[in-house]
Amino acid sequence: MSKPPRFDLLLVLLFTVIALASNSVTATPITQQFKEAPQFYNSPDCAVLVNEDESDGEASILCSDQAVHVAMTLDTAYIRGSMAAILSVLQHSSCPQNIAFHFVASATANASFLRATISSSFPYLNFRVYPFDDSSVSRLISTSIRSALDCPLNYARSYLANLLPPCVRRVVYLDSDLVLVDDIAKLAATPLGDDSVLAAPEHCNANFTTYFTPTFWSNPSLSLTFANRKPCYFNTGVMVIDLDRWREGDYTTKIEEWMELQKRIRIYELGSLPPFLLVFAGNIVPVDHRWNQHGLGGDNFRGLCRDLHPGPVSLLHWSGKGKPWARLDANRPCPLDALWAPYDLLETPFALDS
Per-residue H/E/C for 315-353: EEECCCCCCHHHHHHCCCCCHHHHHCHHHCCECCCCCCC
Pick the closest to residue 94 from 42, 39, 48 (CA basis). Answer: 42
Q: How far is CA 66 from CA 50, 100, 160, in A?
A: 11, 10, 19
**SS3 (DSSP) at 131:** strand
Instruction: Tell me whether residue 52 is in a domain.
Output: no
Instruction: Tell me whether residue 42 is in a domain.
Output: no
Higher pLDDT, 66 or 59: 66
Q: For residue 99, count CB atoms less than 10 angstroms from its CB and return exposed for 0-12, middle for 13-18, buried for 19 or more.
A: buried
Q: What are residue 286's phi and psi, to 5 degrees?
A: -70, 140
Mean pLDDT within 118-138? 94
What's the pLDDT at 144?
A: 64
In the chain, the number of structural domains is 1
State the CATH number of the domain containing residue 276: 3.90.550.10
Question: Would you place residue 20 in the very low, low, confident or very high pLDDT band (cuts 50, 70, 90)?
Answer: very low
Pick the closest to residue 341 from 353, 354, 315, 323 (CA basis). Answer: 323
**SS3 (DSSP) at 266:** coil
Pick the closest to residue 154 from 172, 168, 142, 166 (CA basis). Answer: 142
Q: What is the pLDDT of residues 228-281, one digit of tens each?
A: 999 999 999 999 999 999 999 999 999 999 999 999 999 998 789 999 999 999
Instruction: Tell me whether residue 113 is in a domain.
Output: yes
What's the pLDDT at 349?
A: 59
- The angle formed by the CA atoms of residues 102, 163 and 140, to the nearest 5 degrees, is 120
Residue 149's CB is within 10 A of a number of other CB atoms, namely 17
Pick the closest to residue 91 from 1, 211, 203, 180 (CA basis). Answer: 180
The one-letter code for the residue type at 187 is: L
Higher pLDDT, 28 or 186: 186
Q: What is the pLDDT of residues 140-180, one digit of tens each?
A: 887 765 566 678 999 999 999 999 999 999 999 999 999 99
* Residue 350: pLDDT over 80: no
Pick the closest to residue 267 from 298, 226, 295 (CA basis). Answer: 226
Instruction: Tell me whether residue 9 is in a domain.
Output: no
Instruction: Tell me whether residue 34 is in a domain.
Output: no
Instruction: Tell me whether residue 263 is in a domain.
Output: yes
What's the pLDDT at 23?
A: 41
What's the pLDDT at 24?
A: 38
Question: Would you place residue 135 in the very low, low, confident or very high pLDDT band (cuts 50, 70, 90)?
Answer: confident
Residue 308's CB is within 10 A of a number of other CB atoms, namely 14
Instruction: Tell me whether residue 2 is in a domain.
Output: no
Range of the domain at 278: 61-342
- Rounded CA gap, 67 and 78, in Å? 26
Q: What is the pLDDT of residues 303-339, one digit of tens each?
A: 689 998 889 999 999 998 899 999 999 999 999 999 9
What's the pLDDT at 219?
A: 96
Pick the closest to residue 155 from 249, 268, 274 (CA basis). Answer: 274
Instruction: Tell me whether residue 264 is in a domain.
Output: yes
Contact 74, 132 (CB under 8 A): no
Q: How far is CA 123 from CA 118, 126, 128, 330, in A?
A: 8, 9, 13, 31
Question: Would you place residue 56 in the very low, low, confident or very high pLDDT band (cuts 50, 70, 90)?
Answer: low
